[in-house]
Chains A and B, each alone.
Chain A
Amino acid sequence: MTDTYQKTATVTKAPVFSMAQVAPWVIAVIFLMVLPIAFGSNSAITIMNQMMITIVFALSYNMLLGQGGMLSFGHAVYMGVGGFFCMHLMNIVEANELPIPLPVLPIFGGLFGLGLATIVGSFSTRKAGTVFAMISLGIGELIAACSVIIVAFFGGEEGMPGDRTYFLPFFGTEFLRQIEVYYLIAFWTVLSALLMYLFSRTPVGRMANAVRDNPERAEFLGYSARWVRFFSFCGAGFFAGIAGGLFAINYEILTETNLSTTQSGIILLITFLGGVGFFFGPILGAIAFTLLQSVLSLQSEIWQLYLGALFLATVMFFPGGLAGVLMMHVPAARMGRLGWLVGPYLRTILPALIGIAGLAALMELLFHVRHSATGDTDMTLFWVTFDSHSILPWIVAIVATVGGIWLARQGAPKLRETWHRANTPGAAKTTGGAA
């Protein structure tokens, strides 16, 4: 699934797809099939649905940012407009009893996303860089503003509701239950991801990378950088529209928040967090972000602060995102040396995690003391309940923070050295023997 695997396969000979390419998809499909058996509660399924929709959306965003080098601040618009059209279609189907089954609905969302992208792309893709970014911001703001002004189409702030159960039953399924919706979304997620992956392997997809790296050179290879960008842009609009259709099916309502610039910002965050350099990066980002959003926000009121800090740390220290961090280990893994890193990792990352947890505990304590009700000094943190106004928890948190970070710094040189050795062909595990 990664670039590296792909290339080995291509060069050797392979006009057909190799095992290494097909395997991750098969595993993903099987995995998605059995996942609801393990986590069958409706809320778990709802969160997984949300996750899959985000995956499609983030992958489509990465067609722009990661593969095409276009930074967009208004991508939510394409998902939103696709979704709104699906909502209208849903209501038309309900009113006229049209014989259309629900599972084909996302394709219409995609087509409308594509239509909008064609119009906007015709003038916004002439240049990349800041011009593109600012046009996307402007268009995003415009359409977001329209969503509350043009009530006839967007339904104002109440949004546009619908009911998915009036479609033609699909092999007896009326999509009354969440689990049925889950499999519908899972099907579309895998299909869209596969299509987007294949798109990145087509001539236009490959040239998108070339134009991203060096638009001028690409022009001297016979390709107009503008049209290459335009096709990527349309593709991204199409799949964003599909995500919008899935959203319409899952939530049966679209509101103006779907179009807001905040949504556009969030998808940028998700994609970057996951890693723009690899196809599967946005998938990781979508999973991680949805989990943070749904799980962390149940545990902490200041989760957005953590999210902001995590995002900033990612940009500063791991510009490749989660996927980049994972793929950093591939060379060492190829040489069978991942085991070397386990010890130093434990000695560095474990204390670092404790330090971070300590820091978070300090923030939570501070927050609790400042904002909780008078007399309500009990707080629960990391499954322990204690009195936030007593001195002990503060000491524990400070010790954990300082100690954890100190220990991590102690372990860091060793980790760096081992890392270097694990990635140098022919190096020995330790230097001890040689001396």
Chain B
Amino acid sequence: MTVPALQLEGLRKSFGKTEIIRGVDLSIGRSERHAIIGPNGAGKSTLFNLITGRFPQTSGKVRLHGHDLAGMAPFEINRRGLSRSFQITNIFSNMTVFENVRCSLLWSQGYKYSFWNMVSRSRELTEGAMEILEQINLTSRAQLPAGVLSYAEQRALEIGITIAGGADVIMLDEPTAGMSHSETDYIVELIRKVTENKTLIMVEHDMGVVFGLADYISVLVYGEIIATGRPEEVRANPKVQEAYLGAALEAEH
């Protein structure tokens, strides 16, 4: 049996007295597209932040390709092949689009903290960045400051930055939040294209996106996973329907 790409064991997180994540066990296989859904306040973003080392967990384990990530800083986790995007657009807005992508290539191309190489002299860097820009359809925008792009373009750039480093586990936090229909379609197509043969974990509200993209779905309610499985299984699960709809209704009122 192969080691799963990402494995969570009894993961818990408390803020003060409030327990937000209450023992999550989850195993995500390689090259799987896995969506985490759940009502508002279920702890999806917290779960993301725990996995990527943004917050330290209270107890439990996170394993990436079998390695325990406990106590690792975000950059160390990233170097082990996990990359993420953010719910709120998080790019280098004063730098050009091209620079944004090129910066995200540096570590994976082995430049590390080098101060003896000129970035502009590396054909691999330039070509690699242009290739990514090609993939996310931003070639024509390469020389603009990232801050002036449209919202959808900024989201696309964010995805571009996330995948550029060549990580094999990609985590996207609500990639289509706040987008129009056509923009959503564009982004979904983009995600499908760039995560080919990679492990994808995403949090998403738009059920159309979830059921269109995901191979597996996990449902997180009040810090616990109540169901995991193929989209059709999850859809049919009465427990999910009850709990999810109930919680969703509660959250709305």
Q: Which residues of A contact B (CB under 8 A)?
A: 6-11, 13-16, 198-199, 201-207, 209-210, 213-214, 216-225, 227-228, 231, 235
Contact = CB atoms under 8 A, between A and B. Distances in A.
A206 B75 contact: no
Contact of B121 (A7, A15, A216): A15
B93 A10 contact: no
Interface stretch (B34-42, B103-111, B211-219): B103-111
Nearest to A201: B118
21 contacts: A10-B98, A11-B126, A15-B123, A199-B115, A202-B115, A203-B111, A203-B114, A203-B117, A207-B113, A209-B99, A210-B92, A216-B54, A216-B74, A217-B90, A219-B74, A220-B74, A220-B83, A222-B107, A223-B113, A227-B113, A235-B115
Given A14-B120, A205-B115, A221-B106, 16 more contacts: A11-B98, A13-B126, A202-B119, A203-B106, A206-B99, A207-B103, A214-B91, A214-B92, A214-B93, A216-B74, A217-B86, A221-B103, A221-B107, A222-B106, A222-B108, A235-B115
A219 B73 contact: yes
A115 B79 CA distance: 29
B52 interface: yes
Contacts of A6: 120
B113 A220 contact: no
Interface residues of B, number: 45
A198 B75 contact: no
Given A11-B126, A217-B161, A204 B114 contact: yes
A220 B84 contact: yes
A234 to B, nearest CB: 9
B174 to A, nearest CB: 16
Contacts of B126: 10-11, 13
A206 B98 CA distance: 12
A206 B119 contact: yes
A35 B11 CA distance: 69
Grouping DSSP codes into helix (H, G, I), strand (E, B) and loop, the A interface class, with mixed when no group exceeds half, is: helix
B121 A224 contact: no
Contacts of B116: 202
Interface string B139-166: 0001100000000000000000110010
A16 B126 CA distance: 13
B181 interface: no
A217 B157 CA distance: 13
Contacts of B61: none
Contacts of A218: 103
Contact of A221 (B96, B113, B121, B161): B161
B122 interface: yes
A231 B103 contact: no
Nearest to A212: B94
B112 interface: yes
Contact of B75 (A7, A213, A223): A223
A210 B95 contact: yes
A210 B86 CA distance: 16
Given A213-B92, A216-B90, A207 B115 contact: no
A112 B186 CA distance: 55
Given A203-B114, A219-B78, A231-B115, A11 B91 contact: no
B33 interface: no
Contact of A222 (B92, B143, B165): B165
B120 A207 contact: no
Nearest to B120: A10
